[in-house]
């Protein structure tokens, strides 16, 4: 059985949607929004014990950015955060475009995405 989690926050053009599908083998996470939601980067990450003694959990990740996109810089750390927190494989697709966002707009997008993931993890932890 598939389980879904869906939320959004922010006001246009900075409205971001988070959709999480839970499967028996891991999570499929979508972070989409802005003026043109799209596939900008895809990450698959697997949690594993750190190679450093006492280092906790780390991840092996494969990142596929679409040509000309920078969502990989956002997608990889968020996918790894979820994978470590929930100890499961995560596939994360990110695609957020805000026309002429500039540095301030990009920082706002990153903040919104981090908050959406944090809220998801807090709700998931509370539901355990």
Tell me the pLDDT tens digit for each residue of 30-61: 999 999 999 999 999 999 999 999 889 999 99
Q: Which pTM was predicted?
A: 0.94
Start-to-end Cα distance in the chain: 17
How much is the pLDDT for 55? 86
Residue indicated by tokens 């040509």: 67
SS3 46: strand
All residues at 6 or more sequence positions from 43 whose CB lies less than 8 Å from its CB, including other chains: 61, 62, 63, 64, 72, 75, 76, 79, 90, 91, 92, 94
How much is the pLDDT for 125? 75
Tens place of pLDDT per residue across the chain (128 aa): 568 999 999 999 999 999 999 999 999 999 999 999 999 999 999 999 999 998 899 999 999 999 999 999 999 999 999 999 999 999 999 999 999 999 999 999 999 999 999 999 999 876 55
Task: Specify whether domain 26-51+62-126 bears CATH 3.30.230.100.
Answer: yes
């Amino acid at each position: 059985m598939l389980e879904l989690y869906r939320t959004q926050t922010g006001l246009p053009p900075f409205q971001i949607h988070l959709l999480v599908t839970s499967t028996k083998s891991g999570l499929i996470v979508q972070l989409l929004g802005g003026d043109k939601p799209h596939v900008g980067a895809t990450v698959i990450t697997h949690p594993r014990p750190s190679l450093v003694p006492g280092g906790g959990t780390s991840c092996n990740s494969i990142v596929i950015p679409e040509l000309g996109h920078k969502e990989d810089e956002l997608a990889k750390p968020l996918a790894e955060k979820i994978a470590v927190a929930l100890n499961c494989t995560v596939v994360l697709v990110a695609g957020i475009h805000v026309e002429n966002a500039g540095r301030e707009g990009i920082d706002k997008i990153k903040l919104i995405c981090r908050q959406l993931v944090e809220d998801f993890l807090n709700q998931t932890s509370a539901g355990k």
